[in-house]
């Protein structure tokens, strides 16, 4: 049974019990008022008073039973409220945990994005030095450094994507994977340049 279905049943039981109790209470009140107004001055009025008294007694007993049912319905409604409150609190706690988990991953991804952007500068510098005719001995250390920084970015992107996949954060999986692929493509180009420079140095 869902929480919504349970709540509706509890609400319906409480409303029905309250309505039945209210109707019987009104009937009891009418009987009491009529008894109070009736003057016993003949056999007919005496018989009527006895009938009213019997009806009032029966109504009073019925009220006792209905009151018990109303209290039971109120207890059921209270239990439903308590269960619903526990569900809400549980959902709030789960949301807090998930929010904290996502924020941790987003913080890591933000730092990763900054690290990926910082790689572009050294890559451009190496390309410029190569165009200016820098020697292999000058270029290879810079290329090694750039490739190492790219390797770190790729490793971190894969780690974040893995954690996001385990935590069921598909958007972050896609973003981290896309960043990894971008840096991987840059790394491949740097590696190609590095090999060309190394070959020229040995030729």
Q: How far apart are the first and last CA of the chain?
A: 79
Sorted by where each begins, the domain ranges of the chain are 3-95, 97-202
Q: What pLDDT does residue 8 have?
A: 61
Contact in structure between 167 and 101 (CB atoms under 8 Å): yes
- Give, in order, the Cα–Cα distances in Å from 143 to each of 29, 126, 161, 183: 97, 7, 27, 15
| The token pair that represents 166 in the structure block | 């385990």
Give the C-alpha separation, 94 to 87, whole Å: 10
Q: Residue 59 CA to chain centroid, in angstroms?
A: 51
159: tokens are 């780690």
Domain covering 97-202, topology? 1.20.120
Pick the closest to residue 184 from 140, 151, 143, 161 (CA basis): 151
Return d(Cα 154, Cα 99) in angstroms, integer: 25
Say how far apart CA 150 and CA 193 lie, in whole Å.
Answer: 14
Quote the tokens at residue 185: 């493509």
The residue assigned the tokens 């996502």 is 102
Residues across the chain: 203
* Dist CA 88 CA 8 (whole Å): 17
Q: What does each of the 203 residues of the chain score in pLDDT, given as a tens digit?
A: 454 555 566 568 889 999 999 999 999 999 999 999 988 888 998 999 999 999 999 999 999 999 999 999 899 889 989 999 999 999 999 999 999 999 999 999 999 999 999 888 877 787 777 777 777 777 788 888 889 999 999 999 999 999 999 999 999 999 999 999 999 999 998 888 888 877 776 65
């Amino acid at each position: 049974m869902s929480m919504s279905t349970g709540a509706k049943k509890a609400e319906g039981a409480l409303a029905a019990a309250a309505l039945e109790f209210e109707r019987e209470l009104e009937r009891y009140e009418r009987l009491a008022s009529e008894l109070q107004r009736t003057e016993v001055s003949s056999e007919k009025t005496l018989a009527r008073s006895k009938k009213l008294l019997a009806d009032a007694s029966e109504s009073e007993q019925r009220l006792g039973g209905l009151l018990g049912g109303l209290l039971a319905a109120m207890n059921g409604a209270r239990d439903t409220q308590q269960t619903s409150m526990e569900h809400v609190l549980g959902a709030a706690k789960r949301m807090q945990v998930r929010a904290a988990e996502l924020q941790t991953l987003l913080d890591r991804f933000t730092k990763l994005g900054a690290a990926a952007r910082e790689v572009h500068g050294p890559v451009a510098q190496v390309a410029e030095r190569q165009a200016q005719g820098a020697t292999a001995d000058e270029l290879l250390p810079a290329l090694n450094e750039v490739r190492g920084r790219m390797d770190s970015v790729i490793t971190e992107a894969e780690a974040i994507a893995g954690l996001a996949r385990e935590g069921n954060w598909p958007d972050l999986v896609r973003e981290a994977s896309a960043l990894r692929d971008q840096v991987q493509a840059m790394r491949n180009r740097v590696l190609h340049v590095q090999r060309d420079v190394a070959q020229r140095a040995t030729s």
